[in-house]
């Protein structure tokens, strides 16, 4: 999937903010540091310094070429150290020194954190003080594909830019998995419930494999000493788990949205909330006919319980299977007629 249109769309909004004097001092750019998010970060920084007479950044002037080569004196690029695989206190101290120096060209100072999720806790707390009281005309860009790994206090000081071309790739697959699980297997039997859970687990397995491939490509380095290799493996596993947790959060979001659409049909609501699954209205209506309001709410609670259990590190396959069994054991049209809370 090409991410160029998404980069240009995000850049256009930031260009407008700069022109109107409303550019924030810190942005969290969510996406691949080696992909769309990294490209956007370079173009946003180039936007500050480009000297072209037309639309900026031009990508051709001397300043844009400096940005592309990471040699502009007013821009500091911060990356994880190879040995520690983290962004350390000494690097944050260098950032603070950089932004407090007078600009070489009398304009903006910029700092770009690549793989910002690698900022260790002590360094992040030090950075937080700078983000709370930044100097004038100073821009911070935190680039990461794992925003959940950052300190919440750091995230709260940044405006978030999510690149849809990358952020929704797994989301599209998970949404499709939810549709398939909820509509592709007929019946309320135990076998049907297990089949639904297996469909979702199959997609989760595929997404996890893609995560591992992405992390391995990003982490490829030269041969390391044994202690460095051990640290690298630990960081690799931590990154994979962090991204996988975000995948699970996305899955539960789609499951909840499906149950919300069903609940709205059960209560006959025609409010402003647009359905999350507009192309599956018929299937959702069929499910709604078999439910009371109480049971529809119980299904939502089941998804919330599944999400909580996964957060407690219970086995994902076990949680999925039990959860789908509970979702399958819903009422029939006869239940709806008998139950006074419909």
CATH code at position 148: 3.40.50.300
Closest CA to 185 of 206, 205, 200, 207: 200
Rounded-to-integer distance, Cα 165 and Cα 62, Å: 30
List, in sequence order, the alpha helices (H) in 50-86. 62-69
Same domain, 24 and 125: yes
SS3 content of the chain, % helix, strand, coil (to 5): 65, 10, 30
Q: Given a cut of 80, is residue 67 above it in pLDDT? A: yes
Same domain, 162 and 249: no
Q: What is the pLDDT of residue 1?
A: 39
In this predicted model, what pLDDT tens digit does every residue of 190-200 receive, in sequence order?
888 888 899 99
In this predicted model, what pLDDT tens digit does every residue of 259-299 receive, in sequence order?
999 998 898 866 555 788 888 989 999 889 888 999 999 99
Same domain, 190 and 163: no
Same domain, 189 and 103: no
| Per-residue CA distances from 245 to 16, 191, 242 (Å) | 34, 27, 5
Q: State how many domains the chain has.
A: 2
Same domain, 120 and 23: yes
Query: Residue 315: which pLDDT band, with cuts at 50, 70 and 90?
Result: very high
Same domain, 124 and 28: yes
Instruction: Tell whether the torsion through CA atoms of 62, 67, 68 and 71 is positive or negative.
Output: positive
Closest CA to 31 of 58, 60, 56, 11: 11
Question: Which range marks the domain in which residue 162 is found?
Answer: 4-167
Same domain, 238 and 208: yes
The enclosing H or E element of 331 equals none
The backbone torsions φ and ψ at residue 28, rounded to the nearest 5 degrees and listed phi first, read -100, 110
Is the model more confident about 227 or about 285?
285
The angle at the Cα of 213, spanning 208 to 117, to the nearest 5 degrees, equals 80
Closest CA to 127 of 153, 148, 107, 162: 153
In this predicted model, what pLDDT tens digit does every residue of 324-337 receive, in sequence order?
998 876 543 444 34
Q: What is the mean pLDDT of the chain?
A: 83
Closest CA to 134 of 106, 104, 98, 161: 98
Same domain, 160 and 231: no
| 117 close to 82: Cβ distance less than 8 angstroms | no
In this predicted model, what pLDDT tens digit does every residue of 126-168 receive, in sequence order?
999 899 988 889 999 999 887 878 888 999 999 999 875 444 4
Same domain, 191 and 323: yes
* Residue that terminates a domain, selected from 167, 195, 219: 167
* Residue that terminates a domain, selected from 98, 133, 167: 167
* Residue that terminates a domain, selected from 134, 167, 200: 167
The angle at the Cα of 83, spanning 81 to 84, to the nearest 5 degrees, equals 70
Which residues, in sequence order, are CB contacts of 288 under 8 Å at separation 6+?
262, 263, 265, 266, 296
Same domain, 242 and 153: no
Same domain, 253 and 325: yes
User: Rounded to two decimals, what is the model's pTM?
Assistant: 0.58
For residue 207, count other CB atoms closer than 10 A to its CB: 22
Same domain, 42 and 163: yes
- In percent, the amount of the chain with pLDDT more than 90 equals 38
């Amino acid at each position: 999937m090409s991410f160029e249109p998404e980069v240009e769309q995000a850049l256009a909004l930031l260009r407008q903010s700069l022109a109107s004097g409303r550019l924030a001092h810190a942005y969290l750019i969510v996406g691949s540091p080696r992909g769309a998010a990294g490209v956007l970060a370079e173009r946003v920084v180039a936007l500050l310094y480009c000297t072209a007479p037309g639309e900026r950044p031009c990508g051709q002037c001397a300043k844009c070429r400096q940005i592309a080569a990471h040699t502009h004196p007013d821009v500091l690029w911060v990356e994880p150290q190879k040995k520690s695989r983290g962004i350390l206190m000494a690097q944050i101290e260098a950032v603070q020194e950089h932004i407090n120096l007078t600009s070489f060209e009398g304009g903006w100072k910029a700092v770009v954190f690549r793989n910002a999720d690698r900022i260790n806790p002590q360094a992040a707390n030090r950075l937080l003080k700078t983000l709370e009281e930044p100097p004038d005309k100073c821009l911070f860009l935190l680039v990461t594909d794992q925003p959940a790994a950052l300190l919440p206090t750091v995230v709260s000081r940044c405006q978030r830019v999510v690149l849809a071309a990358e952020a929704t790739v797994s989301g599209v697959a998970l949404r499709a998995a939810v549709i398939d699980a909820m509509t592709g297997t007929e019946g309320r039997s135990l076998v049907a419930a297990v089949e639904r859970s297996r469909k979702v687990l199959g997609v989760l397995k595929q997404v996890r494999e893609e995560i591992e491939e992405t992390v391995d490509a990003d982490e490829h380095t030269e041969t390391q000493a044994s202690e460095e290799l051990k640290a690298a493996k630990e960081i690799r596993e931590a990154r994979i788990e962090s991204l996988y947790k975000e995948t699970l959060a996305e899955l539960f979001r789609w499951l909840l949205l499906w149950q919300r659409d069903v609940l709205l049909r059960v209560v006959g609501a025609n409010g402003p909330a647009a359905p999350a699954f507009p192309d599956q209205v018929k299937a959702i209506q069929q499910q709604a006919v078999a439910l009371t309001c109480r049971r529809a709410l119980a299904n939502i609670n089941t998804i919330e319980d599944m999400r909580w259990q996964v957060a407690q590190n219970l086995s994902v396959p076990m949680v999925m299977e039990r959860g789908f069994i509970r979702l399958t054991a819903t009422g029939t049209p006869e239940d709806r007629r008998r139950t006074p809370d419909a």
